[in-house]
Amino acid sequence: MRIKHKTIKGCAKCGSIDFTSQKDLAGKSYPTTCKNCETVNRKIVNQCPYCKSKKYSKWGKEIRNFYAVECADCSLVYLKNPLNDKMQNLYYSKYATYVHQKLNIKKKQRKVMYQIELDYFIKCVNNFNKLKEVLDVGCGGGFFLDLIKKYKKKTYGLEISEDSYEIAKKKHKMYFGKFNKKIFKKKKFDLIILRGVLEHVPNPKKYIYNAQKILKKNGYVFITATPDIKSISANLFKERWTQHRPESHILHLGENHIDNLFPKRNYQKIGSKHLYLNTPYENFESDIKKIYLEIIRKEKKIKSKIISPAFFGNMMTLVFKKI
């Protein structure tokens, strides 16, 4: 079996789009298993990954046999039938080749964003030059670390994608696997980066807590390029929101979900921004028009297939300091 595309329209083994379903604890059925070859492609998530509530309501429409729901208690949006562990490992094994680094224009845009995001972080802190050891969790090919290394930092990365890991280890001290504080033993860092990571993992709280445990006093957690479920686009477009990519983005948080994981007695929030204006993704006038026309279509109950544009509020950039 080999997945060669960023979207999975059917069974990863035979390509069939006919699935049999499995019931969750509430008795509702969701597609999991290929009818044709009986390969189990999906798993059932029975409780909210954030607050463990079992109560939920439908969020948006089904897309490529993936169903999203909104937690009735904390408003987190998550997939009821994401790829199971085997298929997720298969999907991420060549993530750089077939998804992250596939399009040249995306690579160019992302490179500009790296500098914009780092510039914002530097403005938020008053001692950037004193930060020596930096860990990027889910660092991909280490491209954000490449930029940070130019500032004379010791750079470390963690990655689960095989091809991304191979690219990054040529440039940085690398760890392979899922984020577990045991990987780092007694190692601690001045700065821990979670860039475009939390929406990919089944337990984002664990990732943040692990980061906090290996962060030095007066160190920073930098969360950026993270979709915000509270955004205008998410609420208006739902499953057609540009950040709803169910193969990899298995849940969507709001800024409040992240804030709640940083107790004020131990952490100070020193940065919060939704980067859009003056970024490579901004097309202000045309984006405004797309949003306006979608509102009109919704009011008139006209069916739409339009994918949301990049827009205000789509992506969170947050900085927390350990005190």
Distance CA 208, CA 268 (A): 15
- In the chain, % helix, strand, coil (3-state, to 5) comes to 30, 25, 45
Q: For CATH 3.40.50.150, list the domain ranges present in the chain.
A: 95-322
Phi, psi of 111 (to 5 degrees): -60, -40
Q: Which tokens sit at 261?
A: 């994981």
214 three-state secondary structure: coil
Domain 95-322 has CATH 3.40.50.150: yes
pTM of the predicted model as reported, rounded to 2 decimal places:
0.95
Contacts of 169 (CB under 8 A, 6+ apart): 142
Label the pairing between strands 315-322 and 267-273.
antiparallel
Q: Which amino acid is at 273?
A: K
Give one word for 308, left, alpha or beta, with left for phi > 0 and alpha for psi -120 to 50. Answer: beta
| Nearest of 217, 201, 247 to residue 76 by alpha carbon | 201
Kindly give the confidence (pLDDT) of every residue in the chain, 323 residues in length, as a single tens digit, with 9 standing for 90 and above: 657 678 898 998 999 999 999 999 999 999 999 999 999 999 999 999 999 999 999 999 999 999 999 999 999 999 999 999 999 999 998 888 877 555 578 889 999 999 999 999 999 999 999 999 999 999 999 999 999 999 999 999 999 999 999 999 999 999 999 998 788 888 999 999 999 999 999 999 999 999 999 999 999 999 999 999 999 999 999 999 999 999 999 999 999 999 999 999 999 999 999 999 999 999 999 999 999 999 999 999 999 999 999 999 999 999 999 99
Annotate 310-319 with b (16+ C-beta within 10 A) or e (fewer).
Answer: bbbbbbbbbb
